[in-house]
Structure 1
Amino acid sequence: MGKRIGLFGGTFDPVHIGHLRGALEVAEQFAFDELRLVPSARPPHRDTPQVSAKDRLEMVRLAVEGVPPLLVDDRELKRDRPSWTIDTLESVRSELAADDQLFLLVGWDAFCGLPTWHRWNELLEYCHILVLQRPDADSEAPEALRDLLAARSAADPQSIQGASGQIAFVWQTPLAVSATQIRQSLAEGRSVRFLVPDSVLAYIHAHGLYRAPN
């Protein structure tokens, strides 16, 4: 049996307990050997991150330090082009054994936007997709995805077989924490203690990140 590797991408601007707790729960549920947090450099579907790639990477490194199986993967920050997910999947898959399972974790909103992704119809050639769906999420996928779901959905996420090719929904009750909220609180001089790991908070303060401009 090969390894089970998960990929969880995002701007992580900053990484917070919602990201980390959700990632750890999925890693344990699926018995991942590794769950890699992948900070994006130039996300094509989102605003430019507020702080530098170097700072965001270091905050993720601090957050996952000593918390197996969570790791940080910096390959998207080394590219001089937008952070296309298909490029990351091709790169990671090239490093794995043929029987290793690769899982891409995406939120419900991101999944519904999949048809706008670069080469989106090739994603399942390289990985399985786990959709992290909240109980309050709209249960109807867009029409562009319905044929794909009909062909590729796994009713039981734990039954997924093979290296790639299936989609499963993982129900979660995420913590009501957002990076936007954290940035706003910091800009207004309010505490974000317990919303981010202490090591991340110390880094933010030490480097004066997210302060309101003078």
Structure 2
Amino acid sequence: MLGGTFDPVHLGHLRCAVELREMLALDRVHMVPAARSPLRDAPQVAPEDRLALLRLGIGDTPGLLADAREFSRHGPSYSADTLAELREAYGPEARLVMALGHDAFMRLPEWRQPHRLFELAHLVVVDRPDHDAPLGEALEELVVGREVDGVAGLMAEPHGRLLRLTLPSRMAISATEVRRRLACGESVRYLLPEAVESHVLAHGLYREAGREGG
């Protein structure tokens, strides 16, 4: 599971999903756009637009799925609820992984039921070249004894472990910057997939000044 606002989905998101699937030998990666993130401002465009852009971005990429399940729930989008649905679907012995960026990982103690995440899945923290900070005390307590140093250690159990992973491309593309460029009429070529860029421009999405987040 790779969640996010995907506001809009960009090449960094998609390349991350492809490399996670390859490095962890995953059957599939559910890319799950949040309907309403508890820790971020509301997305700038409607859920159906973000989902359409995600589907266009994925295209026919093997193993990547645009998963709209959080749009069918009311209230904030909690990752623990999404993981519980996936665990029910795949069964107790499946190796479930939730991937998140280092910036989101640093705020993990603020998440709803953070311990429950480890009861349902493994967590894989994707390092970003622009994020490097020591762990706070609450986060240290949450992850103590869980960290493994490789994929084999991660996959030895169905859930409960933590792996920090550096992806080969480490594409530091910011959705905030993409929104800013679109609002100012600047080029987003090679930041977005061509199909996503074409749809955004054709429908006039993100013309207003973007908000922080993404």
- Please report the TM-score for the alignment, with normalisation by the length of structure 1: 0.92
For residue 163 of structure 2, what is the amino acid of its counterpart?
A
Q: CA offset at residue 157 of structure 1?
A: 2.9
Q: State, as a whole percentage, how many aligned pairs show the same letter.
A: 42
For residue 168 of structure 1, what is the amino acid of its counterpart?
L
Q: CA offset at residue 68 of structure 1?
A: 1.0
Q: Which runs of 5+ in 2 are unaligned?
A: 210-214
Residue matched to 2:163: 168
Select which of 145, 149, 158 maps to 2:143.
Answer: 149
For residue 40 of structure 2, what is the amino acid of its counterpart?
R
Q: Secondary structure at the match of 2:84?
A: helix
Cα distance in 2, alignment partners of residues 137 and 194 from structure 1: 22
Deviations 1:47-93 (A, max 9, x none): 10000000000100111121011111100011111001111111111
Q: Which structure: greater strand fraction?
A: 1
Would the aligned equivalents of 1:157 and 1:170 in 2 still touch at CA under 8 Å? no
Matched, 1:198 2:177: no
Q: Secondary structure at the match of 2:99?
A: strand
> Cα RMSD over matched residues?
1.5
Matched, 1:86 2:74: no
Q: How many residues align?
A: 207
- Given the superposition, is the C-alpha separation of residues 141 and 43 from structure 1 closer, same or farther in structure 2, using an over 3 Å criterion? same
For residue 189 of structure 2, what is the amino acid of its counterpart?
R
Q: CA offset at residue 143 of structure 1?
A: 0.9
Cα distance in 2, alignment partners of residues 139 and 51 from structure 1: 31
Cα distance in 1, alignment partners of residues 198 and 163 from structure 2: 37
Deviations 1:163-199 (A, max 9, x none): 1110110013522311111111111111211110011
Cα distance in 2, alignment partners of residues 135 and 49 from structure 1: 24
Runs of 4+ in 1 over 4 A off after TM superposition: none
The aligned runs of 1:25-174 (5 Å cut-off) are 25-134=19-128, 137-160=131-154, 161-172=156-167, 174=170
Q: Which runs of 5+ in 1 are unaligned?
A: 1-6
Would the aligned equivalents of 2:101 and 2:125 in 1 still touch at CA under 8 Å? yes
For residue 104 of structure 1, what is the amino acid of its counterpart?
M
Cα distance in 1, alignment partners of residues 129 and 172 from structure 2: 13
For residue 88 of structure 1, what is the amino acid of its counterpart?
T
Cα distance in 1, alignment partners of residues 118 and 65 from structure 2: 23
